[in-house]
Amino acid sequence: MLKEYLIPYITQDEISDMIDGLAREIESDYQGREVILICPLKGSTLFASDLMRKLDLPQKIDFVQLTSASLEGEPKDSTIKILKDISTNIAGKDVLIVEEIIDEGRTLSFLKNRLLASGPRSLKIVTLLDKPARRAINIRPDYIGRTIEDRFVVGYGMDDGEMGRNYKEIYFLKN
């Protein structure tokens, strides 16, 4: 039912090509070293699973789930909580945070600082979509599939009220 409110934006083939390019960049930077992929739930699961299949590197994956809640009288997303933390020891390891989209960057900044506190050898961010026009925190991904304009997108893990995550392509919401 949601699809009637959507405009096609990025096709399956374009998504696949972006992930191929990201995988080649990451492989070049890590050349045979093991990487630990950290997948924030829920939106990044499709991207993380496709990326890990295309990465020809030794790898592990772990999941984290964060939530942001506004407190009365405080800025939006002022309180970020960990609902599920990673269970992998990342001390001395090469870590990649795998995000489907980065907009404001508040939750991602919180996650990055949380992971840095565990002492990884390196910590980089890979995102399928980057929306810098919405950035509220100065955080930059290391690997970007595509930079997009400030529009609400649905599909390929991204949702509207938990709907549309399963779509194979990415759509804009009609105005």
Write out the catalytic residue numbers: 103
Q: Round to whole Å and give the CA distance between 71 and 75.
A: 8
Cα 29 to Cα 32: distance, rounded to the nearest angstrom: 9
- Tokens 């709907």 belong to 163
- Reference 37, options 157, 127, 106; nearest CA is 127
> Starting at the edge strand that comes first in sequence, how are the strands of the sheet with 94-102 ordered?
79-84, 59-69, 35-41, 94-102, 122-130, 143-147
Phi, psi of 112 (to 5 degrees): -60, -45
